[in-house]
Structure 1
Amino acid sequence: MRLRALGLWLILFSILAGCGRKTPPLPPEQVAPRQVTGLRYELRVSGVKLTWKVPRRTLAGTPVGHLKGFEILKTEKVIGQGLTRSFKIFVPVDRDLDKVSSFGYEDSNLRSGCRYVYRVRAVRGFRSVGPFSAPVSFSWHSPPGPPEGLRLEAWDRKIYLFWRPPQSFLDGTPVDLPLRYRLWRGPSPEALKPLAVLVDGTSFFDGSVENEIRFCYRVAAVIQFYGTWIEGAPTEVLCAIPHDLTPPSAPRALVAVPVPEGIWLRWREAPEPDVAGYRVYRARKGKKFVPIHQGLIARPEYIDRTLPGPGVYVYRVTAVDDSPRANESPPSAPVEVEYKSKER
């Protein structure tokens, strides 16, 4: 019995002694964040904006937890001279990254005539630093100033843009590089999007607009500097509304026949799909034409019951479209008819 009790005590002691053991801690290198991915750059008038994805795991595969910040390695090389400098920029994290997928940094400390290379890595703590990301690189030149004298001319389903080239770059030096232009268009100044193609000259014809709808524009000069496209300061935003200014074609084959009720008129319909109706004009022979009804006539026929008396009358007809301006066509060829009496 004593031996059995002694064995139970030995087993219990072994279990209790084992509970205090811990696995050896991982070295800082293994709990460092994984490599930053998705590094991108966006050039702006003021410099460059970098964005990248936030790593969620350590090199050992565990959750990364809180990050102290990110370290940016910036390399600057003077083009054509071979002079190279490197800088380290620490960007602290001042917010919870659990609900964000990306992080960013804007660098306005760029020198014209240099090429830049950026790499980014995540910092968790002392000796707990992740590997650098893949690099991004670009060449930098002071951007062009805004184009001058932008003006718009709105016509029927088209808008013309005209401007003059900028005379200097934003650093004050005269423009000595070829310029192209990027156009931005949208329904309002706050909703502009860039057009797909760059423009070579200082004018643009936009034939993809619709009448009675507002279109807003701005223009920026663009240069290509050692393989990098750099967009300059934009013009102010101007807006225009194209209008339907094209009238329908004149009605054809007008005929006039006396009937007991008056004069019956018939003509061939105008072929345009936006015709809202027709307007009939009458005149005494040798006198001025005047409209003889209110509003528009929907069908291509009409009986004139308002004749003032017997005589020779001349008629002509116009077509009117459905635009806000109610564009009226040229008149049809006139027809002459003699009316003898209103009596049957």
Structure 2
Amino acid sequence: MKQILAFIFIIFLSSFSTCGRRGNPLPPRDFHPLPPSKIHYQQVVSTPLIYWKSPAKFEDGEPISKEEKKDIKYIIDINFGHSRVETNKNYFKYKPLKQNTKICFRVAAVFKKFIGEFSEPVCRIIKAPIQEAPTLKSVKAGDRIVKIEFKKHKYKTIEIFKSDTGHFNIIKPFKTISGNLFTDSRVENGKKYFYRARYANNEIKGPFTKVIEVIPKDNIPPVPPENPILITDHACYLVWEPSISRDVKYYKIFYNDKCIGKTTGLIFILKRCLNGIYRIGAVDKAGNITLSKPAVRR
């Protein structure tokens, strides 16, 4: 019996001695960020520009949180140690270089004091630059639409940059067109928008145009109401069929070209029937108005 009790006691103690231990201990964290996976390149006129995405993980495979990404910076190595530059942005614009100059870049991410490995190098030779900006032919801003037309050109595409604040993304265009006409229907009436454009032959980019400011506005009047009738039997009121335009907000009532009232309905009661001409005006959200034919008396 004593032997059995002793055996149970040993098992009981051993259960406490292993409490909280589950497998092998975890290795220490490695906070060195992985290098950017791909470095993109542009030649803006004669100036090299590179850009990249923030690394998603540390060397130990753990993800970099949003808060930790705020502490990520970058070291740009130029021509394999010739010079180095630090930045907290996800792009780097170098200085203008002469045609046929060879240039190489590598990028390493830095988290606090932990410097990661450099990316694969991106090397290019400066090509003949695009020196001219697109020439505007016309700019039109209508009902929820903007149209910008450029003169004919010899380049592969035109890149359009858009902003509603006046501050532009310098790398990614809003839209790229191969022709001369740019149309933007993703706009609101009454709101100011800013655009600028440049020619592009793949990685080779030209200078930007001056900023183009536009405010789309509905200047197309609605379709007039149909069949206005002045009822004069026992009462005096106007009735009509609605305008087929979807943006009509209300109707104005006119007597001899003078506004005497308004309504959102399709009937308007008059205090008395006067000799003269009654018309109904359809008014849209932008304030455009179209008058009907004179009401027919009945």
Query: Do they fold alike, i.e. is TM over 0.5?
Result: yes
Q: Secondary structure at 2:232's aligned position in 1?
A: strand
Residue in structure 2 matched with residue 274 of structure 1 by the alignment: 247
Choose which of 239, 242, 262 in structure 1 pairs with 2:213. 239
Distance in 1 of aligned mates of 2:238 and 2:228: 7
Paired position in structure 2 for 1:319: 282
Return the alpha-carbon distance in structure 2 between the equivalents of residues 253 and 111 of structure 1. Answer: 73
Match of 2:84 in 1: 91
TM-score by length of 2: 0.64
- For the structure 1 residues 43 and 235, does the alpha-carbon distance in structure 2 shift closer, same or farther, using more than 3 Å as the test? same
* Structure 2 residue 126 is matched with structure 1 residue 140: yes
Matched, 1:221 2:199: yes
Task: Write the distance in 1 (CA, Å) between the matches of 2:181 and 2:119.
Answer: 43
Question: 1:240: how far off?
Answer: 0.8
Amino acid at match of 2:209: T
CA gap of 1:184–1:131, structure 2 versus 1, over 3 A, is closer
Please list every run of 5 or more consecutive structure 1 residues that lacks an aligned counterpart in the other structure.
1-33, 58-68, 75-86, 123-128, 167-176, 283-288, 338-344
Write the deviation string for residues 76-133 of structure 1: whole angstroms up to 9, x where unpaired: xxxxxxxxxxx6413277x9xxxx7x897653263424564444679xxxxxx99764
Of 224, 247, 258, which aligns to 1:291?
258
Q: Is the 8 A contact 1:264 1:302 kept in 2?
A: yes
Q: Residues 260 and 132 from structure 1, CA distance in 2 versus in 1: closer, same or farther, beyond 3 angstroms?
A: closer
Summarize the Cα distance change of 1:197–1:255 in structure 2 as closer, same or farther, 3 Å threshold: same
* CA shift in 2, pair 1:140/1:35, >3 Å: farther
Q: Could you say if the C-alpha distance between residues 298 and 106 of structure 1 is closer, same or farther in structure 2, counting changes exceeding 3 Å? A: closer
Greater CA deviation, 146-155 or 181-190? Answer: 146-155
Q: What's the CA shift string for 1:117-166, capped at 9, x where partnerless?
A: 444679xxxxxx99764222345322433223465221222222133468
Cα contact 1:314–1:336 (8 A) shared by 2: no
**What root-mean-square deviation, in Å, do the aligned CA atoms of Structure 1 and Structure 2 show?**
4.0
Give 2:122's aligned amino acid: V
Contact 1:256 1:266 in 2 (8 A): yes
- Aligned amino acid, residue 152 of structure 1: V
1:328 equivalent in alignment to 2:289: yes
Aligned residues: 244
Q: Which secondary structure state, in structure 1, belongs to the residue aligned with residue 206 of structure 2? A: strand
Distance 1:182 1:214 in 2: 20
Larger CA Rg, structure 1 vs 2: 1
TM-score, with length taken from structure 1: 0.57
Give 1:183's match in structure 2, choosing from 131, 156, 160.
Answer: 160
Q: Secondary structure at the match of 1:280?
A: strand
Q: Which amino acid aligns with 1:250?
A: P
**Structure 2 unmatched ranges of 5 or more:** 1-31, 60-73, 110-114
Q: Is the 8 A contact 1:156 1:242 kept in 2?
A: yes
1:248 matched to which residue of 2?
222
Structure 1 residue 208: Cα displacement: 2.9
Q: What is the distance in 1 between the residues matched to 2:51 and 2:97?
A: 13
Measured in 1, the distance between the counterparts of 2:102 and 2:266 equals: 72
State the shift of 1:331 in Å. Answer: 1.1
**Pair 278,116 (structure 1): closer, same or farther in 2 beyond 3 Å:** same
Separation in structure 2 between the aligned mates of residue 302 and residue 178 of structure 1, nearest angstrom: 61
Q: Do the aligned partners of residues 191 and 279 (structure 1) sit closer, same or farther apart at CA in structure 2, a change above 3 Å counting?
A: same
Equivalent pair of 2:232/2:297 in contact (CA under 8 Å): no
The alignment-based identity, stated in percent, is 19
